[in-house]
Amino acid sequence: MNYWLIKSEPATWSWADHVRAGTTEWDGVRNHQAKLNLQAMARGDKAFFYHSGKEKQIMGFVSVVRTYYPDPSDPTGRFVMVDFKADGPLNTPVTLAQIKDDKRLRNLALVKNTRLSVQPVDATSWRIVSNMGK
């Protein structure tokens, strides 16, 4: 199993929206590195759901229920989407500031490349951040 982080502006698609939807597609990704990350996902992989913008915090957990397929909102046909199921919230959201303050997480993609909308998370960082949110 691999671990990921997906980011969304809460005004566009929030954690609460995803929870209400239950399972939904993750579309609209228009960055080639993020696309490659979507293509690398396998059914059952887990991801943190991160509110970008002003909030900058991890809100909950999702899992991949359908691997990549063409994104019909992309007229070029180059980009893909996956389907995620909401698994549950963190008891306490974990902020970007908390993550940056923890030296064990200094190599996390979220710290190094804050703009990438779909990014990998190593297993050790996954456990640390998950424990921070309990």
Q: What is the pLDDT of residue 114?
A: 82
Q: Domain with 32 in it: what CATH number?
A: 3.10.590.10
Q: What is the pLDDT of residue 113?
A: 86
Cα separation of 49 and 61, whole Å? 6
Q: What is the pLDDT of residue 40?
A: 98
Domains: count for the chain: 1
Q: What is the pLDDT of residue 94?
A: 98
Residues 6+ positions from 36 with CB-CB distance below 8 Å:
none
Going through the chain in order, the beta strands assigned E by DSSP cover 3-8, 23-26, 46-51, 57-70, 80-95, 118-121
pTM of the model: 0.96
The distance of Cα 3 from the centroid of its chain, to the nearest Å, equals: 9
List, for residues 104-126, the tens digit of each pLDDT value.
Answer: 999 999 999 888 999 999 999 99
Residue ranges making up the domain that contains 122: 3-132
Cα separation of 30 and 103, whole Å? 31
Cα separation of 125 and 30, whole Å? 26
C-alpha distance from residue 4 to each of 24, 42, 74, 75, 77 (Å): 17, 11, 23, 26, 24
3-state class (DSSP) for residue 84? strand
Give the residue ranges of the chain where pLDDT is below 70.
none
Residue 28: exposed, middle, or buried by beta-carbon count in 10 A (0-12, 13-18, 19+)?
Answer: middle
